[in-house]
Amino acid sequence: MREITYRQALNEALAEELERDPNVFLMGEEVAEYQGAYKVSAGLLQRFGSKRIIDTPISENGFAGLGIGAAMVGLRPIIEFMTFSFSLVAFDQVVNNAPNMFMMSGGQFNIPITFRGPNGPAHQLAATHSHATENFYASVPGLKVCTPATPRDAKGLLKTAVRDDNPVLVLEAELLYSSKGMVEPPDEELLIPLGKADVKREGSDVTVICYSQTVPISLTVAAQLEEEDISAEVVDLRSIKPLDEKAIFESVAKTHRVVIVEQDHPFCGVGAEICYRIQKTIFDELDAPILRVSQEDVPMPYNEDLERAVLPNAEKLVTAVKQVCYA
């Protein structure tokens, strides 16, 4: 194991999959000459050439659709959205073409495509550039959605996504690109299955369910709460769809108290679905109502203080955990 950044981990995943399979190509805005808007694709043009690392004009609908068409005849495109906020321009392709093709064609055309890029609020990008899209996309049958929080998960999930025979969205996070973590050496194949949550910290008093940018918040809070004699178990979903119900239920059966900390909006958010599933299946295990910490239900303001007030954070999570623990 060695320590690398989340950005390097993604870059390694891309390089390894491009190396392994000639059907894989990377396409998007600024992925080639510019070396990636967030430098995730740095060096790939030099290594794999312009046939496989392809710059596009600003035409998200066009190049997302191009990728889906290429996937219909067996190529395995990786389509980078500069941010998933821009994927909304390609919503019709991602929602109406990619996941529908398999059903609509009676099983003749599956779409082995990966859509990836940063998702969720970053810092003071205001309303149009701060979308957390996981709950939109997870609600669409035929799509898979993963949300890696660590360099290791980022590498392992992206590689798995590229090999999946269905459309997979890898929702990265701008604020995590420079974060560091331990990852297996490049000569060791690292594949992390979709739909497998990871207990990032064990605990016995309360389960904190999180993903992506809310994982580091949860780990900070769990460490802080330990000093106050509250033992929090941190369950990183890693994939929103498929959802690892088993891991969630196992943890809840142990702690009997749950807080879900998500980066999307509260109405029809990821946490709402998880609450439903927990109460439906293991209602009797609960010793307190489930609480959710999410964004406020407002478009993102630019003002820094107001943005902080909108986002989930450690303070809000601590309050929620103490409330479910009646502490």
Partner 1 sequence: MQPLEQRDEVEMLSLMLLIRRFEERASQQYQAQKIGGFCHLYIGQEAVVAGAVAAIRPDDYIITAYRDHGHALARGTTAKACMAELFGKETGCSRGLGGSMHFFDKEHHMYGGHAIVSAHVPLAVGLAFAIKYRDEDRVTLCFFGDGAINQGSFHEALNLAALYKLPIIFICENNLFAMGTSVERSTSLKQIVDRAEGYDIPGEIVDGMNFREVRDKVAEVADSIRKESHPSFLEVRTYRYRGHSMSDPASYRTKEELEKYRLDDPIIRLRAQLTREGKLTNEQFDQLDKRAKETVLAAVKFAEQGPELPVEKLYDYVYFNGAKA
208 three-state secondary structure: strand
Q: Which is nearer to partner 1, 61 or 124 (CB)?
A: 61
**93 — phi, psi (to 5°)?**
-70, -45
In the bound complex, what is the minimum distance in angstroms from residue 64's beta carbon to partner 1? Answer: 7
Q: What string of DSSP letters covers 95-160?
A: IIITTTHHHHTTTS-----EEEEE-S--SS-TGGG----HHHHHTSTT-EEE---SHHHHHHHHHH
d(CA 7, CA 197): 21
Q: Is 227 an active-site residue?
A: no
In the bound complex, what is the minimum distance in angstroms from residue 193's beta carbon to partner 1? Answer: 11
Q: Which is nearer to partner 1, 2 or 108 (CB)?
A: 108
In the bound complex, what is the minimum distance in angstroms from residue 303's beta carbon to partner 1? Answer: 33
Q: What string of DSSP letters covers 253-267?
A: HHH--EEEE-SS-ST
d(CA 149, CA 172): 8
Q: Which is nearer to partner 1, 23 or 124 (CB)?
A: 23
In the bound complex, what is the minimum distance in angstroms from residue 106's beta carbon to partner 1? Answer: 3
From the candidates 129, 226, 245, 250, give the one annotated as an active-site residue.
Answer: 129
In the bound complex, what is the minimum distance in angstroms from residue 21's beta carbon to partner 1? Answer: 13
d(CA 319, CA 312): 11
d(CA 260, CA 290): 8
Which residues form the interface with partner 1 (CB under 8 A)?
25, 51, 56-57, 59, 61-75, 77, 92-93, 96-97, 101-110, 112, 141-142, 144, 165-166, 195, 241-243
Q: Is 265 an active-site residue?
A: no
Element (H, E) at 209: strand 206-210
Closest CA to 148 of 112, 116, 124: 116
In the bound complex, what is the minimum distance in angstroms from residue 141's beta carbon to partner 1? Answer: 5
Q: Which is nearer to partner 1, 25 or 84 (CB)?
A: 25
CA 59 to mean position of chain CA atoms: 23
From the candidates 12, 17, 60, 233, give the one annotated as an active-site residue.
Answer: 60
Closest CA to 198 of 138, 142, 250, 158: 250
Q: The sheet that has 24-28: what strands, in order across it?
A: 53-55, 24-28, 76-80, 114-118, 168-172, 144-146, 239-241
Catalytic (active-site) positions: 60, 129
